[in-house]
Chains A and B, each alone.
Chain A
């Protein structure tokens, strides 16, 4: 497992998601400014389609989530677990910034 340099921090807009390639996998990255930086699998587990970075960011009962743009299931940004169906998980990635660069921990 190694940290992969994805892009410069300034390229992440605040409040919306972007997708990035991390060791052959599409990862959805969400920059919520003072509320943190999150990364989960970009593939929507309900459909198998790579779209979660394009979802709306929501707060559901105090937890940050992204609503899938396809059928609106909510995935928790911290754990990737779906609120409506806990058997659906968009697996989370570790993410950090170092010297203005965004780094994601690859799973291979």
Chain B
């Protein structure tokens, strides 16, 4: 005789329903119950909080919280595409839309909520949508393809998320809000105002105090929305995001008790009026309150699971006692946080900080004694959130004056967890580095030696240095903000010193402002010398291999020989191919040169051609031939503008709205040769389809039908970052002006080897501050920045052309000072793979980096030419 297990049915597989399953499994209840989960959507649970990520990646995969396989592994039956339409609470059965009937001994309702669509005439017209499921997103994406203008109805948390999604789809976005301000539930009026102005700076138009009366045919667009004040707005698509309503239909038709204004009533155990039926999440009503955030839903899931477990074991049953609705988030890139009674209350005392320049507003609400924190709102800077939330939840008495809470400054939150891998070559975590610093290794060289971090490809070195500095600072140890042992100044300070005092040689810089060694040596090191060389070049733009002013002795590996050194000591050569446009004649010329010197050729990610394997002594003759064929240096070796990638644009493409190639070429020709704190990559896309991937570049330009949208501080590589939308619909002249100022401000203020993305993140006040400097001239330096850029542009030189014109510069490209004594070059140094030449080095390379193994795997014995 088999004893069948009792059945547990869960209706709904959203975030809360899935969290309940996870709790169930951790309590082992998936072994004691036969569990059936019903979801009406086609896929298992996904993250609804970060829906707009879908548009960043174009895929639902990053949103998924689980998979059908997980459920199978847990022994749980997951029915997708299966809505439940009826519950018989007496017979204890549920019936699916497909007509199948399942009995239950316990039932959990996690049916969530549905978007509220205001009862407006015309709300069911085409391209009138909502924002809740992945299917909704797909519909929004489809509508955006033939929309110029879009409106989001609702200026709350979800509405602004939807506006963000719409912006990302390249639609001119409006937000229409019934209340006089944005986020009326969480924010007071001043905070709402600041948020509004910040969002408008991003190009979203906000309309408050607008009651929509009807949606009718438009003249310039598909729809016209008419408002109570007799104004109107024309738009091609509308997304309703005006709040949520609990999805209680199933409970309602099944005679489970519902609140007056909706919601399935539950007690502290999350039990409903029907026996053995629970409700959790946004569909549940506890003490006349609906909780529209995910954290309280998770709390209910834990309560319901513990209650079920307590029936058959000695697991204590938890109870639901309400939940804190404090929240912290980034809306359209703007920090917003609300804690407790964030809109204030009668007899409240308060302290307030309003910094118009930095775009920060903070208000703390205190009880009538002024000793206890009851609520807070933060806009523009969330840095204090954790500390204030802790103070609010603990209700500790405030020590001293409450205003000090506002001025304490941001917490020194480490960016990474201890378990995060910092050096992926050697799998070194942040914790490893912190431990090594704590054990007494305070210098970069020591950390490299004992943890091996930054001793592989070296790409993590700036991050490692930051962790060392942070750790020393945290331990209260002597922390030197200088760039290296030879200077107490950071790069920005050195830049100012060189600019103000007109210094353009290293000896003057280190003797007057640096620290020669105790025995009087003033050589500096491989950190400060290249940094100084970059500063001199940014300020004066002289030939970088100049002997007279000693600049040649400062150049790092690649700059020193105007080529990119490879693992076998040879160099790669990258001529400039502005905008990625090249004539067949030049392509053939390049091919012939590569063939003559047997150079390995490869197309780069920046739409250029890289030729590998040139010996030091071959560089001048190869460059002579390239220059004769009309090429110039591509500065691939320099911390300077690399390339301006482009899509083909309106000249050929059916969709292009501007000439992206022509503009990319002009941009590349203007900024080529600019020496900067780190390399710079640009891209120009000819339409909103963004084929040039401009949002992953330091400077990204995307064509609109009215001009150009400018994105700044994007990055690919090790830490990808989407560029921030800086300004929209710019003319070509405005665009040059803004880019001139942004680049020179970056050159002036960034740290050494700091890309624009990390620079932006470290800039106090971030994007808003950069805009105030560049657009509003808040520092009054724009004229100087432009003048400096004009100087750089006017003094551009192709360094290879200059080198070839002066034979004395070329002596350093001899491999040996006594070449006649040199033996013939070693013929066994190369092998041929896929008809090209590769170095034969077996054991050189960055530690465990597997480049050599890959080629070995792909090479069969008969392909290798001895």
Contact across chains for B841 and A59 when beta carbons are under 8 A apart: no
Are B843's CB and A48's CB within 8 A? yes
B818:A6 contact, CB within 8 angstroms: yes
B552 near A71 with CB under 8 A, answer: no
Residues on A with C-beta less than 8 A from B524 are 58-59
Question: Judging by beta carbons under 8 Å apart, are A6 and B817 in contact?
Answer: yes
B438 within 8 A of A: no
- Complex Cα gap A60–B547 (Å): 24
Interchain CA distance A64-B449 in the complex, whole Å: 19
Residue of A nearest to B516 (CB): A59
Among B524, B525, B552, B819, the most chain A Cβ lie within 10 Å of the Cβ of B525
CB B312 to nearest CB in A, in angstroms, measures 61
Hey, which chain B residues are within 8 Å of A74, CB to CB?
A: 445, 526
Using known A-B contacts A16-B812, A18-B817, A19-B817, determine if residue A70 contacts B553 with beta carbons closer than 8 Å. Answer: no
A57 in contact with B816 (CB, 8 Å): no
Determine if B818 and A21 form an interchain contact, defined as CB atoms under 8 angstroms apart.
Answer: yes
Chain A neighbourhood of B529, CB < 8 A: 56, 58
Contact with B along A3-40 (1 / 0, CB 8 A): 00011000111011011111010100100100100000
Q: Are B567 and A49 in contact (CB under 8 A)?
A: yes
Inter-chain contact A49/B569, CB cutoff 8 Å: yes
Q: Is the CB of A62 within 8 A of B845?
A: no
Evaluate whether A58 and B517 lie within 8 angstroms (CB atoms) in the complex, with A11-B817, A70-B567, A83-B445 already known: no
Per-position 1/0 for B455-499, Cβ under 8 A of A: 100100000000000000000000000000110000000000000
In contact, B816 and A51 (Cβ under 8 angstroms) = no
Q: How far is the CA of A54 from the CA of B565 in the complex (A)?
A: 10
Residues of B within 8 A of A98 (CB): none
Cβ A60 vs Cβ B817 within 8 A: no
Q: Which residues of A contact B822 (CB under 8 A)?
A: 21
Please give the distance in Å from A80's CB to the nearest CB on chain B.
17
Q: Assess whether B449 is in contact with A59, with CB atoms less than 8 Å apart.
A: no
CB-contacts of B15-30 with A (<8 A): none
Partner of A62, one of B448, B519, B552: B519
B557 touches A69 (CB 8 A): yes
Which residues of chain B are near A61, meaning CB under 8 Å? 485, 517
Q: Residue B799 at the A interface, CB < 8 A?
A: no
Q: Check B816 against A20 for contact (C-beta < 8 Å).
A: yes
A71 touching B817, Cβ below 8 Å: no
What chain B residues lie within 8 Å of A32 (beta carbons)?
523
Given the contacts A16-B812, A47-B845, A49-B569, A54 and B557 also touching, CB distance less than 8 Å = yes
B523 lies within 8 A of A70 (CB): no
Whether B519 contacts A57 by the Cβ 8 Å rule is no
Hey, which chain B residues are within 8 Å of A55, CB to CB? 557
In the complex, whether B846 has a CB less than 8 A from a CB of chain A is: yes
Is B844 a contact of A56 with CB atoms below 8 Å?
no
Asked whether, in the complex, the Cβ of B448 is within 8 Å of the Cβ of A84, the reply is yes
B485: chain A residues within 8 A (beta carbon): 60-61
Are B556 and A56 within 8 A (Cβ)?
A: yes
Closest residue of B by beta carbon distance from A47:
B844
Pick the most buried of B524, B530, B557, B568: most chain A CB atoms within 10 A of its CB.
Answer: B557
Min CB gap A54→B, angstroms: 7
Known contacts: A51-B565, A56-B529. The answer to whether A62 contacts B521 by CB under 8 A is yes
A85–B525 Cα distance when bound, in Å, is 18
Query: Digit string of B656-695 for contact with A (CB within 8 Å is 1, else 0)?
Result: 0000000000000000000000000000000000000000
- With contact pairs A62-B521, A84-B449 given, residues A7 and B841 touching in the complex (Cβ less than 8 Å): no
A50 interface contact, C-beta 8 A? yes
Provide a sorted-by-A list of 19 A–B residue pairs whose CB atoms are within 8 angstroms.
Answer: A13-B552, A15-B552, A18-B814, A18-B816, A20-B821, A26-B816, A29-B817, A48-B841, A49-B569, A50-B569, A54-B565, A57-B553, A58-B526, A59-B517, A59-B523, A69-B565, A70-B844, A71-B458, A84-B449
- Closest 3 pairs (CB-CB, A-B): A69-B557, A15-B553, A58-B525
**Which residues of B come within 8 Å of A, CB atoms?**
445, 448-449, 455, 458, 485-486, 516-519, 521-526, 529-530, 547, 550, 552-557, 560-561, 565, 567-569, 616, 811-812, 814-819, 821-823, 841, 843-846
**17 further A-B pairs in the complex, CB-CB below 8 A; given A18-B812, A49-B567, A50-B569:** A6-B817, A6-B818, A11-B811, A16-B552, A16-B553, A47-B567, A48-B841, A51-B565, A54-B561, A57-B523, A58-B523, A58-B525, A59-B524, A61-B517, A62-B521, A69-B560, A71-B458
